[in-house]
Amino acid sequence: MDTFNQMVVEMIGKETQQERLAGNRNDEPKAARPRTPASAPVPDQGSTMTAIVQERYGAPERVLKLEEIDRPAAGDDNVLVRMRATSVNTPDWITVAGVPYVTRLAFGPFKPSTPVRGTDVAGVVEAVGPNVTDLQPGDEVFGSSWDHDLPKRSGAFAEFAVVPASQLIKKPANLTFEDAAASVMSGLTALIAMRDVGGVGPGTRVLINGASGGVGTLAVQIAKTLGAEVTGVCSTRNLELVRSLGADHVIDYTKEDFTRGDQRYDLILDNVMNHPSCATAQVLTPHGMLIPNSIGNTGGFFAGLPRMARAALMGRGSTDVQFVTCVVNRENLDALATLLESGVAKVVIDKVYPLSEAANAVAHMLGHHAIGKVVITV
Ligand SMILES: NC(=O)c1ccc[n+]([C@@H]2O[C@H](COP(=O)([O-])OP(=O)(O)OC[C@H]3O[C@@H](n4cnc5c(N)ncnc54)[C@H](OP(=O)(O)O)[C@@H]3O)[C@@H](O)[C@H]2O)c1
């Protein structure tokens, strides 16, 4: 690693495998926030906004409609963001399609319990809740509303979105709103997979299946920054891209099955799960780790969930199987911002759609061959 990369590694707070075993930093409780000064701006609760609304499951073009709805209020600990860009992630297309069907048990049996999709956020602070003291109207911010209870009609596919202040930071000036929005869920998942779960360090041999997707393109770059020897698996048309992101080796899955190769890997991040986990585990080193990270692209009642469940079962035996969870907090967002601001990692964007064409953006992701990220601008 050169000195600059070493500096970035220190700034993104890399944990070694040993440190990881001593405790995952993402389990740490979030810092308490100070109470509000009486003069804090109050959220505007009166107006309406344009949003993409979903009232049933189905094909994006049939179920996603551009409508005028009430603008949500920020709430005590939240920020109302005037949206500039968002991006499409797996939870969005799953909730639009309602497939795999079993996910409807969680999202709502007949229609999703919340009508506005989208969690990645980049925009300008419009108003802050009374408990938010370190952000103010006019600040350019990025973050995510992922995994948080928020007003029912709030989501990022809209003119305004409510985001917990604890999941929002100021956007680096040299980062566009599109890049910032596109980086959040994919980048945090890649960062946590490589840095925290995988404990990647100098010389770790990492294979990333699905190296040309949103998570994969960032995981390749983050693993390289941490000093790994990286192999990326993608199709012929994406070989050059994955190489250009820093992969030391590329495998064209249309010509070669990596699970049958002679190479062995300390860590495999499987973003596709197109092979049974027992086959993938065959190319791990004796103490190697498998991170299964896809519910699959097959649709149906369960899609790839049985394959994920079998991987979890395999982890009860001699194979080290760990899962990655996207944890959005300021510490992780700062680490991601450092990577992007320094230019050590860049966001690959396949296509940008205006909000009115959000259905096409979701359909693009449902094709499962996006190169990097699909972005929606507002
Ligand atoms: N754990 C979490 O919290 C979390 C968060 C976000 C996402 N995820 C998971 O991470 C996975 C990746 O997400 P993503 O947004 O990166 O997905 P994505 O962007 O939809 O991935 C698309 C990429 O997959 C590649 N691909 C398709 N079939 C392939 C194959 N057989 N072998 C290798 N590559 C193949 C495509 O490349 P080609 O066009 O070259 O085929 C395309 O570049 C998803 O399954 C998602 O569920 C997990």
pTM value is 0.91
Class of domain 48-180+348-377: alpha beta
From the CA of 132, how far away is ligand 1's center (Å)? 36
- Count of CB atoms situated within 10 Å of the CB of 4: 12
Domain chopping of the chain, boundaries: 3-25+185-321, 48-180+348-377
Whole-number Å distance, alpha carbon 156 to ligand 1 midpoint, is 21
* Pair 155, 161: CB distance under 8 Å: yes
Cβ atoms 339, 12 nearer than 8 A: yes
Residue 170: CB atoms within 10 A of its CB come to 16
| Residue of 208, 217, 368 to test ligand 1 pocket, by largest number of atoms within 8 Å of CB | 368
Measured in degrees and rounded to the nearest 5, phi and psi for residue 77 equal -105, 10
Measured CA to CA, the distance from residue 80 to residue 75 in angstroms comes to 9
pLDDT digit string (tens) for the chain, length 378 residues: 555 566 667 767 754 333 433 333 333 333 333 333 333 444 445 599 999 999 999 999 999 999 999 999 989 999 999 999 999 999 999 999 998 898 899 899 999 999 999 999 999 999 999 999 999 999 999 999 998 778 788 999 999 999 999 999 999 999 999 999 999 999 999 999 999 999 999 999 999 999 999 999 999 999 999 999 999 999 999 999 999 999 999 999 999 999 999 999 999 999 999 999 999 999 999 999 999 999 877 677 787 788 889 999 999 999 999 999 999 999 999 999 999 999 999 999 999 999 999 999 999 999 999 999 999 999
Q: Does residue 298 sit in helix, strand or coil?
A: coil
Rg (CA), the chain: 20
Which residues does ligand 1 sit against, CB inside 6 Å? Answer: 89-90, 185-186, 189, 209-210, 212-216, 233-235, 238, 253, 271-272, 274, 293-295, 324-326, 365, 368-371
CA neighbor of 103 nearest in space, from 95, 113, 115: 95
Query: Which of these CATH numbers, 3.40.50.720, 3.10.620.30, 1.10.645.10, 3.40.50.970, describes 3-25+185-321?
Result: 3.40.50.720
Give 125 Cα–ligand 1 centroid separation in angstroms: 31
Look-up: residue for tokens 């990692």?
A: 345
Alpha carbon distance 307, 40 (integer Å): 50
Among 119, 258, 273, 293, which is best to mutate for testing ligand 1, by the most ligand atoms less than 8 A from CB? 293
